Amino acid sequence: MPTKSMADIEEFYRQKRLAVLGVSRNEKEYSRMVFRSLKERGYDVVPVNPNATEVDGVSCYARVGEVTPAVDGALVLLPAGGASLALRECAQAGLKRIWLRNDVAGAKEFCRQNGVQLISGHCPFMFMPNTPSFHQFHAFLNKLIGKYPS
């Protein structure tokens, strides 16, 4: 079921094997920073990018359905067009927990119909365990303007 509740976010981060779809080959890009931060926090992260063979020393997969052993959840850090396709691939691979960095048209309904727990429209850094203070400040600002999940 698609929601943006803190309980769903906490449950997502309790999963220890996560795929990061759209992880960049450029180490300064946002997706690469998310990947690296999860890895530093002890997550077993798997990069998914059809244009890379490895990311930060970790074997990279072209599609999430090819990942073995399977992952518990996925962060989709792609633009809307690619994210929509990635969402379908995640569901086909049997994933029940998906985090879309950006909202994608039709994603909530698709996830509802496929029994997928969806988190969307939030920066994963704001909720990451032991996140740096500037991400905590970002979370604080979202609380002030009413965009923080309950």
| Average pLDDT, 10 consecutive residues per value, the chain (150 residues) | 76 96 95 96 97 96 96 94 93 96 91 95 90 83 85
Q: What is the pLDDT of residue 2?
A: 44
Burial 78-93 (b: 16+ CB within 10 A, else e): beeeebbebbebbbeb
Q: What is the CATH code for 6-123?
A: 3.40.50.720
pLDDT of residue 1: 40
pLDDT at residue 15, as a whole number? 96
Helix axes 107-114, 80-92, angle to 10 degrees: 0
Q: In 3-state terms, what secondary structure has residue 144?
A: helix
